Every structure is written in structure tokens, then in C-alpha cells.
Structure 1
Amino acid sequence: MVKETKFFRKQAKKAERMARAISDVEAAQSLSNLAKAYRKQADVLKANRKSSNKQR
């Protein structure tokens, strides 16, 4: 599970770098939204992991 969280955070960083590097406004916005989605997914996985550990 930790590997998945790291994967999503790494992908978010890549998407943000790409968004800053391109001049097309629409594409940059799409990449920024993608980065946010990756971060949100990582946060959900982390929260699920924490709640799973508390129940044990």
C-alpha cells in the first residue's frame, strides 16, 4: 500500500512539472487537475490504511 501512495505522489509531481513546462494553457490546466487527482488518491489510500490499522 505504501508503494501505491508513493507512486501516486510521484506521478503528481511529474504532472505538475509538465504543467509548468508547457505553454498551452488548457493542457497545463489538465495536468494540474491530474496532479490534484493523484494527490487525492494518495490521501485516500493513506487514510484507508490508517483506518485499517486502527481496527486491528
Structure 2
Amino acid sequence: MVKQAKFFRKQAETAERMALAYSDAELSQNFLNMAKAYRNQADVLKAKEKSKAKKKSNKK
């Protein structure tokens, strides 16, 4: 899942670059919203991974 989180973070960076590349305010905002959504998804995946690792270590 770490690879998936990394993928979403890279997508967020790409969306932010796209937001800066366009002068249209609405389009830029859409890309920024997309970047935020990608980061949120990455955070969820990372939290799930941490939770999974914690449960695994508690079983020992």
C-alpha cells in the first residue's frame, strides 16, 4: 500500500503543477481540489498501513 500512497502523492504534485500552468481560475481550482483529494487518499492508505502493522505487532 505504500506504493499506492506514493502514487497518489505524485498525482497530487502533478495536479498542483497543472493548476499553476493554467490562467483560468476555475480550472486551476479544479486541479487544486484534485490534488487535495489525491493527498487525502494517500493519507487514508498510509493510515490503513500503519493500523495493519500495529495489529500485526500486537499479535506477537
For structure 1, list consecutive stretches of 5 or more residues without a partner in the other structure: none
- Aligned-residue identity in percent: 64
Runs of 4+ in 1 over 6 A off after TM superposition: none
- C-alpha separation in 1, matches of 2:27 and 2:47: 30
RMSD of Structure 2 on Structure 1 (CA): 0.4
Residue 20 of structure 2 corresponds to which residue in structure 1?
Answer: 20
- C-alpha separation in 2, matches of 1:2 and 1:41: 12
- C-alpha separation in 1, matches of 2:13 and 2:2: 17
Count of residues in Structure 1 that have an aligned counterpart in Structure 2: 56
Say yes or no: does 1:2 pair with 2:16: no
For structure 2, list consecutive stretches of 5 or more residues without a partner in the other structure: none
Shift in Å, 1:53: 0.6
Shift in Å, 1:2: 1.2
- C-alpha separation in 1, matches of 2:4 and 2:15: 16
Residue 50 of structure 2 corresponds to which residue in structure 1?
Answer: 50
Residue 29 of structure 2 corresponds to which residue in structure 1?
Answer: 29
TM superposition score normalised by structure 1: 0.97
